[in-house]
Amino acid sequence: MQGKLLVTKLLAERKTGRILGAQCLGPGDVSRQVSIWAMAILGKLTISDMVNADLPYAPPFSLAIDHSIATAHILQNKMNGLMTGISAEELKNKLDSGNAPFLLDTRSPEEYEEMRLGLGEKLIPLGALRGRLEELPQSKDSEIVAYCKISLRGYEAARIVEAHGWKNVKVLEGGVMAWPYSREK
């Protein structure tokens, strides 16, 4: 039903998980998302409330996995220590300062050929990652930033890499689609 990409910034109180604010932008219909977050804030809902919400599925208005619920899951993972994100701006500052982390692109070769950042990233498709861990930095303390188109596979890759002992793994928030700077392709 022509679902369009959206980017949402969600704020919650660390101690209680109570939702405090949200912003949403993108070429898709943000009004529905903003309405959901407005009601969540008014109702004093928490992140746990939102990840368990049973929102209606209607293809003209919502994907099967609702954007707001997926956003709540991401924040819940961050709050529970299961994900450390890095914004495009933070990554760009690191690159500009000469403090480049290891960039792990987990998309398919076809996706990589269509569009890539061109920042010295290493392409290891998610399905091949477990068999190619030797291509990651030797030091388990090395900073690694994993990503894909929107960073769902980037998150999965980060969990795999962390499970194999790397300690400084981040996920590029929004993936390639949220990279506002110039790209190679």
For residue 40, which phi and psi values (nearest 5 degrees)?
-65, -40
Contact indicator for 74, 65 with CB cutoff of 8 Å: no
Dihedral sign from CA coordinates of 92, 168, 129, 154: negative
Instruction: Choose the CATH number for 7-79 among 3.40.50.1220, 3.40.50.720, 3.90.550.10, 3.30.390.30.
Output: 3.30.390.30
CB atoms within 10 A of CB 169: 26
By three-state DSSP, how is residue 176 classified? helix
Instruction: Choose the CATH number for 85-178 among 3.40.50.150, 3.40.250.10, 3.30.1540.10, 3.50.50.60.
Output: 3.40.250.10
Domain 7-79 and domain 85-178, same fold? Reply is no
Q: In degrees, to the nearest 5, what angle opens at C-alpha 86 toward C-alphas 129 and 106?
A: 20
Domain boundary assignment for the chain = 7-79, 85-178
Contact indicator for 93, 71 with CB cutoff of 8 Å: no
Best CA proximity match to 112, nearest among 168, 71, 171, 153: 153
pLDDT string in tens for the chain (185-residue length): 456 788 899 999 999 999 999 999 888 778 888 999 999 999 999 999 999 998 887 776 677 778 899 999 999 999 999 999 999 999 999 999 999 999 999 999 999 999 999 999 999 999 999 999 999 999 999 999 999 999 999 999 999 999 999 999 999 999 999 899 999 87
Contact indicator for 68, 49 with CB cutoff of 8 Å: no
By three-state DSSP, how is residue 85 classified? strand
pLDDT value at residue 2: 57
H-run or E-run covering 8: strand 7-12
Which long-range contacts does 39-45 make (Cβ < 8 Å, 24+ apart)? 44/18, 45/18, 45/19
Distance of CA 69 to the CA centre of its chain: 14
Backbone conformation region of residue 74, classed left if phi is above 0, alpha if psi is from -120 to 50, else beta:
alpha
